[in-house]
Amino acid sequence: MVLFFIIPDKMMANDNDKDVAELIAQAENHFENQRNRQSLEAWLSVLELDSTHYRALHETSLLYNIMGYQFEDEETSMEYYNKALHHAEQALEHHPDHDESHYVYSIALGRLGDKSPPRTRVRYANLIKEHAEIALELNPEHAGAWHVLGVWHHNAANLNLAERTGVRMLGGLPPSSNEEAEEAFKRAIELDSQTIVFYHDFAKFYMDWGKKQKAKSILQQAVTMEPKIEGDEKFLDNSKNMLANL
C-alpha cells in the first residue's frame, strides 16, 4: 500500500520562514565578524528561498560593492560591481518605496561609473544624485545616502575645464557646490560617527578644496578608529598615508 501524505501549505511556509530567519542570523553574524564572503553566501541562500526578499537584495548588492572594491584586478572588480547593480535593480523593481533600494542602486552606479565611458559616466552621475535624494526623501536620516550625496557634490563641483566642457556636451549635470558637499558629509558623520569611509572621503574632499587643516582634523579622527567591517583596513591605511603627507 502506498500512503500519500499531504503537507499543508501553511506548514511549508512556516518551515521556509524559519530557514530564512536562520540564514539572516548567520549573515548578520558573519558580517559583524568581518567575514564578508560568508555573509554574502548566506544572503544569496535567502534569495534562493525568496527571490524578492527586500533585505537580502539590498544587503547582497552592498556586499558585492564592498568586496569588489577590495580587488586589485579590474576585471574581477567589474564582475562584482555588475552583480551589485543587478541586485540593486531587483531591489528597485520589487521595493521601489524603500530607501535602501535607492541607496544601493546609487552606490552600484557610482562604482561602475568610475570605469565607464564618458557618456555613460554622465548618465550614471545624474542617476546617482537622483536616487540618493529619493533615499533621503524616504529616510532623511540615512547616513549612507548623505555620504553618497557628499561624494557626488565633491566630484561634480571640482571638474576641471576640459571635464566641464565634456560634461556639457554630453547633457550636463545638476547644480553642485563644495558647500553642499561639506554639509552632506557633516550630516553623514552626525548620523553615523563609526563609519571610517565617511571620514576618509570627507578628508579627501577638504584636500581637493584646499582646506588642509580641516582635512587634517578629520584624518586625525579617522586614524584612531577601529575597522568595523571587512574592507575598512584599506580606508584606514589610506587615511594614515594622507595624514602623513599633509
Which pLDDT does position 161 carry in this prediction?
77
* Cβ 125 vs Cβ 82: under 8 Å: no
Which pLDDT does position 14 carry in this prediction?
59
Which pLDDT does position 226 carry in this prediction?
93
Between these two residues, 161 and 122, which has the higher pLDDT value?
A: 122
pTM summary value? 0.90
Name the band, by pLDDT with cuts 50, 70 and 90, for residue 138: very high
Which pLDDT does position 15 carry in this prediction?
61
- Residue 7 confidence (pLDDT) above 70: no
pLDDT digits (tens, 9 = 90+) for 28-78: 999 999 999 999 999 999 999 999 999 999 999 999 999 999 998 999 999
pLDDT digits (tens, 9 = 90+) for 145-203: 999 999 999 999 998 878 888 888 888 888 999 999 999 999 999 999 999 999 999 99
Cβ count within 10 A of residue 168:
11
Name the band, by pLDDT with cuts 50, 70 and 90, for residue 124: very high
Name the band, by pLDDT with cuts 50, 70 and 90, for residue 10: low
Which pLDDT does position 2 carry in this prediction?
45
Across 220-242, average pLDDT: 96
Which pLDDT does position 168 carry in this prediction?
84
